[in-house]
Structure 1
Amino acid sequence: MKTALSTATKTPSFALLFDDFKQITKVGLSVSVVFSSLAGYVLGADQIQWQSLFLLAIGGYFMVGASNTFNQIIEKDLDALMKRTRNRPIPSGRMSVQSAFVIACLFTVCGIVALYVVNPKTAMFGAVSIFMYTCLYTPLKTRSPLAVFVGAFPGAIPFMLGWVAATNDFGIEPGTLFMIQFFWQFPHFWAIGWMLDEDYKKAGFKMLPTGKKDKGTALQIIMYTIWMLIISVFPATGLTGSLTLSVPAAAIIFGLGMVMLVFAFKLYQNQDNKAARNLMLASVLYITVIQVVYVIDKFLS
């Protein structure tokens, strides 16, 4: 009886294994990336091909999951130093590096294959995203605040990736979608970096542009938020090819951007974690809602 009880205690349940799988692949982030990709696909497609849409969703999830798993393998020792990450599967000892590596490699291969079936350009951008996130952004986090700039490139690919998946073409339209999500990355991740600055410093991560929670960092957040807002409404000018935006849709997006800008100024004024958290939440709301607005506007215009 004692041996059986001991064995049962040591044997992980399916629920725990599934939870570890979700943590290693960062399911929440992966789903948000898939959402961006699907929004980009709908914007670019003249007619929705459901098989392509499904493969984009599956391939996108695999690619993001692979990037996150490689990241946690590389940073396993650093994750053990931080309160918010020490209970992740690898640093906690619940998952071996070998198991995580198998997952990452399997996800990479399956993701590239799925996206290649959609079209080769989509697979290429997906592969570039994994490479930049794993081989450039991840090691740079402990070396320079430029890590956020480098990480903004793979982070900005999903919205654009959907358009490329739908059209098999890269032009001003997907380029504009890329720039929207590119500039959005800075206020979003610097707000997170502000909130978690003390924890990040335990692992030697350099996430804030000035290295400190100061007005210099807050000012840069304001500047990038303004650029994000300008690019987000720019399609209303009619200068971005077939990617267009009606005046009412542009007004909604502009209003949302102004809300986010107000929170950025609040951070500049107060310089506290509460203001940073409000800005982070506003940024998540912004990028989600504007993608929905873009899609709805396409069908209403």
Structure 2
Amino acid sequence: MSLSTTRTYSTPRSLIRNFTEITKMRLSVSVVFSSIAGYLLAVETVDFYTLFLLCVGGYCMVGASNVYNQIIERDLDALMDRTKDRPIPGGRMGVTSAFVLASILTLAGIALLYIINPKTALFGAISIFMYVSLYTPLKTKTPLAVFVGAFPGAIPFMLGWVAATNDFGIEPGTLFMIQFFWQFPHFWAIGWFLFEDYKKGGFFMLPNGKRDNGTAIQIILYCIWTVLASLVPAVGVTGSLYLSPFAAVLIAGIGVWLIYYAARLYKLKTDKAARQLMLVSVSYITLLQLIYVLDKFLR
């Protein structure tokens, strides 16, 4: 009786755990947060129905990409300490079940985003295609995979704007540019402190394949470009996307913080410094989006 009761209650928990892990819930939620920020930057009055569709549809699209990715990389995931206990290599989910889940998420995501408008659905579909069909297979072939992966990775911020306006112009293009440049120092920092683990799976994540001065210098350069791109709206050349002088000072401040930790990685070249840069990069993009949104609604 006791064993039966335990099984009854453990099954739903196992399903929830498998779902959150295979869709990478924390990552997916952070991506949805970017889309929400882009949406809020574009609207004067929030349509909560559209926002709901964007959140659920966006999660489905990102989740589907992550599931497809783990299906493709299941044998390589089993080789790495960081990923060997994921649902598929860990034996908690079969490939067929994962593929069915990914298919359902894809169809649901595209349908929900299409209800918002066709352009939003199109960009969502492009994001899945590039992540699964281009970025994922290139990770074991060339460091250029990070460049390719930066395209789908930069779509969510601008996707919110497109969802709000049904238009792609200078404003969502600027949001795309900011998150595009940001991808490089973020993922290269991860590639640095997970270098040995990635090597077990045969992944090429660093620009020259080494944890050396060349990689560290490129990280600094892309941090600088990220900060410069983030300040472009303050100049008044990005249409209705505008940043006040006070907000620009705040962005510059967190930009200096980001560049400092990139320079620190160049100086120390340690896994700890790379991990700290990764955490700072996540904080940077989150704070940037909050500053952009608050600046719009408070000025």
TM-score range, shorter chain: over 0.9
Distance 2:249 2:113 in 1: 35
Count of matched residue positions in the alignment of Structure 1 and Structure 2: 299
Q: Which residue of structure 2 lines up, in the alignment, with residue 125 of structure 1?
A: 123
1:24 paired to 2:52: no
Which of the numbers 129, 138, 141 marks the counterpart of 2:139? 141
Which of the numbers 202, 205, 215 marks the counterpart of 2:203? 205
Which of the numbers 268, 271, 277 marks the counterpart of 1:270? 268
Which of the numbers 227, 233, 252 marks the counterpart of 2:250? 252
1:261 paired to 2:255: no
Distance 1:128 1:264 in 2: 31
Deviation at 1:208, TM superposition (A): 0.3
Distance 2:103 2:25 in 1: 17
Residue deviations 1:77-112 (CA, integer Å, cap 9, x gap): 000000000000000111000000001000000000
Which of the numbers 224, 232, 235 marks the counterpart of 1:234? 232
1:74 paired to 2:56: no
- What is the DSSP-based 3-state SS (H/G/I as helix, E as strand, rest coil) of the residue aligned with 2:207? coil
Q: Which residue of structure 2 lines up, in the alignment, with residue 38 of structure 1?
A: 36
Deviation at 1:13, TM superposition (A): 2.6
1:53 paired to 2:20: no
Q: 1:94 to 1:11 in 2, by over 3 A?
A: farther
Which of the numbers 155, 158, 161 marks the counterpart of 2:156? 158
Q: 1:46 to 1:6 in 2, by over 3 A?
A: closer
Q: 1:271 to 1:242 in 2, by over 3 A?
A: same
Deviation at 1:47, TM superposition (A): 2.0
Distance 1:168 1:9 in 2: 48
Which of the numbers 174, 195, 215 marks the counterpart of 2:213? 215
Q: Which residue of structure 2 lines up, in the alignment, with residue 185 of structure 1?
A: 183
Which of the numbers 93, 97, 102 marks the counterpart of 1:99? 97
Deviation at 1:46, TM superposition (A): 2.6
- What is the DSSP-based 3-state SS (H/G/I as helix, E as strand, rest coil) of the residue aligned with 1:81? coil
Q: Which residue of structure 2 lines up, in the alignment, with residue 287 of structure 1?
A: 285
Q: Which residue of structure 2 lines up, in the alignment, with residue 14 of structure 1?
A: 12
- What is the DSSP-based 3-state SS (H/G/I as helix, E as strand, rest coil) of the residue aligned with 1:297? helix
Distance 2:294 2:66 in 1: 31
Q: Which residue of structure 1 lines up, in the alignment, with residue 169 of structure 2?
A: 171
Q: Which residue of structure 2 lines up, in the alignment, with residue 110 of structure 1?
A: 108
Q: 1:48 to 1:6 in 2, by over 3 A?
A: closer
Distance 2:249 2:125 in 1: 36
Distance 1:46 1:173 in 2: 15
Alignment RMSD (CA, Å): 1.6
Distance 2:290 2:99 in 1: 35
Distance 2:222 2:122 in 1: 28
Residue deviations 1:207-263 (CA, integer Å, cap 9, x gap): 000101111100000000000000001100000000000001010011001101000
Deviation at 1:45, TM superposition (A): 1.1
Q: 1:265 to 1:27 in 2, by over 3 A?
A: same
What letter corresponds to residue 149 of structure 2 in structure 1?
G
Distance 2:268 2:4 in 1: 53
Gaps of 5+ in 2: none
- What is the DSSP-based 3-state SS (H/G/I as helix, E as strand, rest coil) of the residue aligned with 2:202? coil
What letter corresponds to residue 250 of structure 1 in structure 2?
A
Distance 2:141 2:8 in 1: 39
TM-score by length of 2: 0.97
